[in-house]
């Protein structure tokens, strides 16, 4: 026992301080696969104990082309998937910038089923009897495999000038007894120019789906005058029409003129399924852009002419994809939630409008960023909405919807500053109002309506217009308040000015089921 006066000696031994153990380093591994449909996918995984930084990589293709990109950072245990879309046969090698990963993947030649001969020529009319009142319905369901061969082509180069938006529009009409594409409005320098731009007059000869060239000197369209549906172009003064594609019996349709003016994109079933093709207007050479064994349809150009958005059923249901024209790299933009249709870039290229069945049985208009992010619902899911079109300034989207029980035109205005987003019910009738388009930079909506139809006479759609603004204005009575632009007794429908492609006539070309999920 110690007493208070006892001295205590305490010896403390200090050892040298221990060096702390550093955390495990990142450990990056990679693998790759080329699916049966030749979709090239790489996966990079961090198997280490600390996060990676940004991972830069390059992929060398069989032709020597290099595709660069970056991904990450990746936390421990995380993986990143790099999808390079459908690729031609050959070996593709990925290298990371730090040299830690090298992955070589070989895509094999896709073996397609042997062709089974069958008649590819589509039925032209919905009733099968050639009733001239019926809008042409292209039979796009190629249930059996069919491969076409191309016919010889003589080609004269097509020159396209600087971009301009005309103060006239085009529309479908059966005023000649068959379906033609007419110009509505005079040409400033040619007031007497022929308004019939397609001139395919003849029994059961029909012209549909116009797309305007950037300089407004031409339209591309689809015609069955050769006996099957082919692409044609026509001068907007009505003076000339030229055949663009030459098949025996396949269908080429849905033309979209590049903003650069040198190329037309379109869809074709010439190989047995639907793919996106390009035709070079200088040479006439046609190039297959997509090669998936599923169906790729409805091309839409980005404003800079470098990318095309389209819809594909390669996932078992319809999804929006994007392809870089120069490299063929494909990216899925849809989120895999539901069937998505009809992509359309905004004028500035930062967003894409489309319609989706993610809310149930109705088609609902949505907008997403051009990379697939930041989804925004535009139309009310209680109505079936279609034919969404951007105004030139990207502030408005017009569409038709059944929200109030019949087809009406609606206009959505995006939020600006402190002003919240608003929707205007533009037309309020018991009649059918569909197929909106804009008139260049003006807030003028042009659309199809049967408001003046005489029930004792039959179909008499006409073209109408009105101002879409102010956005908080009440709905109009079309017959009493809108400007009627056509008054002939024919069936006039589906106008087009801005954007420079026409979407509404696609309703007659649906491939398979709209809703598969």
Q: Give the model confidence (pLDDT) of 374-417 as tens digits.
A: 999 999 999 999 999 999 999 999 999 999 999 999 999 999 99
Q: What is the DSSP string of 372-392?
A: S-S-EE-S-TTS-EEEEEE-T
Distance CA 267, CA 298 (A): 7
Least trusted range by pLDDT, from 21-30, 428-437, 442-451: 21-30
510 pLDDT tier (thresholds 50, 70, 90): confident
CA distance 182 to 261: 22
Which of 46, 81, 107 is the C-terminal boundary of a domain? 107
Q: How far apart are CA 372 and CA 322, in angstroms?
A: 10
Q: Is the pLDDT of residue 291 over 70?
A: yes
CA distance 437 to 327: 32
Residue 377 or 48, more confident: 377
Domain boundary among 64, 80, 107: 107
Asked if residue 213 is part of any domain, the answer here is no
Say if residue 115's pLDDT is above 60.
no
Place of tokens 């939630």: 337
Would residue 485 count as lying in a domain? Answer: yes
Work out the average pLDDT over 468-474: 97
Average predicted confidence (pLDDT) for the chain: 88
Given a cut of 60, is residue 180 above it in pLDDT? yes
Tell whether 333 is covered by a domain: yes
pLDDT digits (tens, 9 = 90+) for 75-105: 999 999 898 887 888 899 999 999 999 999 9
Residue 479 included in any domain: yes
What's the pLDDT at 18?
55
**The pLDDT of residue 63:** 82
Domain boundary among 107, 123, 140: 107
Model pLDDT, residue 9: 52
The percentage of the chain sitting over the pLDDT mark of 70, rounded to a whole number, equals 88
Domain contains 510? no
Closest-CA residue to 479 (of 443, 407, 437, 428): 428
* 328 has pLDDT over 80: yes
Residue 240 lies in a domain: no
Residue 133 lies in a domain: no
Structural domain includes residue 447: yes
**Between the CA of residue 254 and those of 207, 230, 251, 284, 329, what are the distances in Å?**
12, 10, 10, 18, 22
Percent of the chain with pLDDT over 90: 71
Q: For position 491, which CATH number holds? A: 2.120.10.30
pLDDT at 158 over 70: yes
In this prediction, residues 445-471 reach a mean pLDDT of 87
Q: How far is CA 413 from CA 98, 316, 372, in A?
A: 48, 34, 21
Integer-rounded Cα Rg, in Å, for the chain is 29
Rounded Cα–Cα distance for residues 384 and 359 (Å): 11
Structure tokens at 450: 């049967």
What is the domain-level CATH number for residue 37? Answer: 2.60.40.10
Residue of 516 and 357 predicted with greater confidence: 357
- pLDDT value for 60: 93
The pTM of this model reads: 0.78
What's the whole-number mean pLDDT along residues 346-358?
98
86: domain range? 28-107
* CB-CB contact of 299 with 288 (8 Å): no
Position 162 confidence tier, pLDDT thresholds 50, 70, 90: very high
* pLDDT average, residue stretch 173-197: 95
């Amino acid at each position: 026992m110690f007493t208070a006066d006892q001295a205590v000696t305490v010896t403390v031994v200090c050892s040298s301080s221990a060096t702390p153990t550093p955390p495990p380093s990142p450990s990056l591994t990679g693998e790759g696969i080329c699916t049966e449909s030749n979709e090239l996918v790489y996966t990079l995984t961090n198997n280490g104990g600390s996060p990676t930084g940004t991972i830069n990589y390059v992929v060398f293709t069989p032709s020597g082309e290099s595709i660069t990109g970056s991904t990450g950072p990746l936390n421990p245990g995380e993986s990143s998937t790099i999808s390079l879309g459908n690729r031609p046969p050959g070996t593709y090698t990925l290298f990371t910038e730090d040299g830690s990963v090298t992955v070589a993947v070989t895509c094999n030649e896709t073996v397609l089923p042997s062709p089974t001969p069958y008649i590819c020529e589509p039925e032209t009319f919905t009733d099968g009897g050639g009733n001239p009142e019926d809008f042409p319905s292209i039979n796009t369901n190629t249930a059996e495999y069919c491969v076409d061969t191309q016919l010889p082509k003589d080609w004269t180069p097509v020159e396209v000038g600087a971009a301009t938006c005309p103060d006239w529009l085009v529309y479908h009409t059966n005023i000649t007894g068959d379906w033609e594409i007419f110009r509505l409005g005079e040409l400033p320098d040619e007031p007497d120019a022929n308004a019939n731009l397609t001139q395919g007059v003849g029994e059961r000869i029909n012209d549909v789906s116009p797309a305007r060239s950037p300089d407004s000197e031409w339209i591309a369209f689809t015609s069955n005058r050769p006996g099957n549906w082919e692409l044609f172009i026509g001068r907007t003064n009505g003076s000339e029409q030229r055949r663009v594609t030459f098949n025996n019996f396949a269908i080429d349709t849905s033309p979209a003129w590049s903003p650069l003016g040198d190329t037309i994109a379109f869809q074709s079933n010439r190989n047995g399924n639907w793919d996106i093709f390009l035709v070079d207007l200088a040479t006439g050479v046609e190039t297959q852009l997509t090669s998936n064994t599923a169906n790729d349809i409805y091309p839409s150009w980005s404003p800079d002419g470098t990318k095309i958005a389209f819809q594909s059923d390669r996932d078992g249901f319809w999804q929006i994809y994007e392809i870089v024209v120069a490299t063929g790299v494909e990216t899925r933009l849809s989120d895999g939630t539901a069937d998505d249709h009809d992509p359309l870039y905004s004028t500035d290229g930062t967003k894409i409008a489309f319609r989706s069945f993610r809310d149930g049985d109705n088609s609902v208009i949505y907008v997403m960023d051009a990379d697939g992010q930041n989804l925004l619902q535009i139309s009310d899911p209680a109505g079936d909405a279609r034919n969404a079109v951007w105004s030139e300034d990207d502030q408005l989207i017009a569409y038709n919807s059944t929200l109030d029980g019949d087809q009406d035109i609606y206009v959505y205005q995006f939020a600006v500053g402190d002003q919240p987003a608003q929707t205007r019910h533009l037309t309020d009738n018991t009649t059918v109002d569909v197929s909106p388009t804009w008139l260049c930079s003006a807030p003028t909506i042009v659309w199809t309506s049967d408001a003046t139809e005489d029930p004792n006479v039959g179909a008499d759609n006409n073209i109408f217009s009105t101002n879409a603004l102010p956005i908080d204005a009440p709905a109009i009575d079309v017959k009493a308040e809108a400007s009627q632009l056509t008054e002939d007794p024919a069936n006039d429908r589906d106008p087009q000015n801005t954007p420079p492609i026409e979407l509404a006539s696609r309703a007659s070309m649906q491939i398979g089921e709209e809703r598969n999920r």
